[in-house]
Amino acid sequence: AVSGMTARGAFIVFEGVDRCGKTTQTQRLVAALQSRKVDVELCRFPDRTTATGKIIDSYLKNGVELDDHAVHLLFSANRWESAQAIRKKLAAGTTLIVDRYAHSGVCFSAAKQGMDIEWCKAPDAGLPAPDAVIFLKLAIADAMKRGQFGEERYEKQDFQTKVLDNFMQMKTDSWRVIDAKRPIDAIAEEIETLALDIINSCADKPLETLWK
């Protein structure tokens, strides 16, 4: 970074199937970075607190039924609602650790009948792009052994298997794939090292946009 200017924050997204440990690991990482005095914030999508987020929450809890295309656009709109704030925070030097983002948007919707990846990608084009995607890879059989699988709409074996296939299709060489079957502490240590490296390396790189 140029001296006298604030290095921008890193935009680090965690992805994976349900129960892969994303929420635990994003929380652990934020705590670890805070203890190193890194300016950092945790975000998650869907953000269930906004107007679109409330409809999404009700949909996920099977409270309302929505057309597959319509709910896909709501998930995307839910990210667009945060896009300006994300850009501002990154520019001000805050690193954002994000629990799910556009890749979940595409991979979950495209697991439904008649929804293809290209159509699903379109509404997110132009959003701020993550500097890194950390993918917590876990077999569905192992995810199912963990608690609470089956409470929300998408938490079903066949569906999650399709989601995982979609993630594998979308994966690029730049994704950092983590074996999520290991003990929590070992994973957390690996991720902390990775995150510090990402924060350093993106400080003087411009933020990109999806889907480039």
Binding site for ligand TMP (CB under 6 A): 18, 45-46, 60, 75, 99-100, 104-105, 108, 152, 154
44 vs 124: CA distance, rounded Å: 16
Closer to ligand TMP at the Cβ: 38 or 127? 127
Closer to ligand TMP at the Cβ: 38 or 135? 135
C-alpha separations of 20 from 25, 108, 164 in Å: 9, 15, 11
Closer to ligand TMP at the Cβ: 21 or 105? 105
CB of 192 to ligand TMP, least distance (A): 21
CB of 2 to ligand TMP, least distance (A): 35
CB of 117 to ligand TMP, least distance (A): 13
146 vs 131: CA distance, rounded Å: 30
43 vs 143: CA distance, rounded Å: 23
CB of 35 to ligand TMP, least distance (A): 25
How does strand 132-137 pair with strand 176-179? parallel
